[in-house]
Amino acid sequence: MSLLLNYNDPRFIKLAQLIFEEQFKRDHKHESEMDERRKRLMYDDVVYNLSFLMTSVYFSDEKIFEGYARWFFDLLCNLTKDLDREKIMEQMLDHYKIMSEILAGHASVILSEDELKRAAEYLELAARVTVSAVTDIALSSSFLEGKYLEIRKAYLDALLTSQTRKAHDMISGARKQGVPLEDIYEEILKKVMHEIGDLWHRNVITVDKEHYATSVTQTVMSDFYDEIFERPRRSRTLVACAVGNELHEMGIRMLSDIFEYQGWDTVYLGAALPESAILEAVGEHKPDLVALSVTMPPYLSVCEKIVRSIRAAYPDVKIAVGGQAFRDTDELWKKWEINFYSASAGDLARWAQDTITP
Ligand code: B12
């Protein structure tokens, strides 16, 4: 049997040990974080990885190690649910790099020059497969349907791999290519954020990745502020907010931006606003339209009460409600004294454009 495939050969074992030890030298946390059992499992993984690589090299068949790299990445993701896919990817990339360096420095005793070259190539291939596995995930049908799928997917991929600059460039590039602002908001950013929520719900991403995606998307939206606030004015005022203890405010902020873009003066009050503050703001700004947003169903009753209070205090003001909380109701909004409900911000903007003329 070739030395490559004799996993009991002391030279093979030596290589595995060197790789294993190098992992600890590069990341001191391993020593304090791992008990003896975890260390043994990690050593077994190193032996396993090396044996797959050697088999691949022996047969000059890159597919063996390529398929293994993908399988191993998925296995780690399933076993370590508390770690984000991107973090697992980084660990695997470090591991492949260490393998490559140790082989280059110490494996000439068991590998020919050609075999060493192949081993280095296969390790690079494994790294590439691992990077693409981070973004290669099952996506919902609502994400996959509709215009701009390519941009949407590229933006999502940039968020999943923490490429902030790329995420910004993706969206500013789309705008420069002529994608309307409303489509950027509703077809790209909204759908990506809904998908991010789904991925969190399915435990594909951890909560820190969800928070990161939220903050990047908020700053991406801010990139449009110069453009939004430069538009001609229409002497119409909107007061907008999310009610109750609702912290989800990106949807109503998008709505506000779309109105501002259409020339309205918008007073965007953010999230978690108490009823008294909303009534005060309506009294102060005398808006033509009040838009109230609810994402979490438990705040629907708060919203209903606010609608009644605004109606009683300001009978002429137009009121619109929306947000995901209404989506799974039996058309609840029909029972309220409101002027408009829609699942999308753009629909309200079009209705307001036609109904509330200057
Ligand atoms: C980002 C996010 C957060 C952020 C919010 C930060 C922020 N500044 O907004 C933080 C981390 C705070 C958060 C917290 C929580 N979240 Co959260 N979150 C999300 C996420 C991923 C994106 C929300 C978002 O920005 N969407 C993008 C916007 C643009 O879309 P939109 O809100 O639908 O708005 C559009 C339309 O609905 C419409 N619209 C909205 N308002 C209005 C109003 C009017 C008048 C009109 C006409 C239209 C309209 O126009 C907008 C543009 O088209 C969603 C996933 C999802 N499906 O949205 C989960 C999600 C909403 N969260 C969820 C949960 C469970 C929570 C927490 C309970 C988690 C926890 N255990 O802590 C808390 C609750 C906090 C609270 N009290 O509100 C669940 C809700 C499940 C449910 N049905 O109840 C979701 C759906 C995730 C999931 N898939 O499970 N979250």
Same domain, 86 and 113: yes
Residue partners of 344: CB distance under 8 A and separation at least 6? 186, 322
Which CATH number is 183's domain given? Answer: 1.10.1240.10
Task: Judge if the beta carbon of residue 210 lies within 6 A of ligand 1.
Answer: yes
The pLDDT score that the predictor gives to residue 136 is 87
Of the three residues 199, 223, 247, the one that is the final residue of a domain is 223
Task: Judge if the beta carbon of residue 74 lies within 6 A of ligand 1.
Answer: no
Query: In the predicted model, is pLDDT for residue 3 greater than 60?
Result: no
Kindly give the number of the ligand 1 atom that is closest to the alpha carbon of 186: 53
> Contact at 8 Å (CB) between 189 and 220?
yes
Task: Judge if the beta carbon of residue 221 lies within 6 A of ligand 1.
Answer: no
**Measuring CA to CA, how many Å separate 8 from each of 1, 64, 145?**
12, 21, 53
Which CATH number is 252's domain given? Answer: 3.40.50.280
pLDDT (tens digit, 9 = 90+) per residue, 225-245? 999 999 998 999 999 999 989
> Contact at 8 Å (CB) between 322 and 293?
yes
Find residue 322's DSSP bridge partners: 293, 342
φ/ψ (deg, to 5) at 319: -125, 135
Q: How would residue 39 be classed by pLDDT, with cut points 50, 70 and 90? A: confident
Task: Judge if the beta carbon of residue 202 lies within 6 A of ligand 1.
Answer: no
Residue 53, token pair as written in the block: 């690589």
Ligand 1 atom 26 nearest Cα: 193
Same domain, 174 and 249: no
State the pairing for strand pair 318-322/289-293: parallel
Task: Judge if the beta carbon of residue 248 lies within 6 A of ligand 1.
Answer: yes
pLDDT (tens digit, 9 = 90+) per residue, 197-214? 999 998 889 899 999 999
Tally of domains within the chain: 3
DSSP for residue 189: I
Region of poorest pLDDT, from 80-84, 134-138, 191-195, 252-256: 80-84
Task: Give the domain extent around 30.
Answer: 3-134
Q: How would residue 2 be classed by pLDDT, with cut points 50, 70 and 90? A: low
Same domain, 217 and 269: no
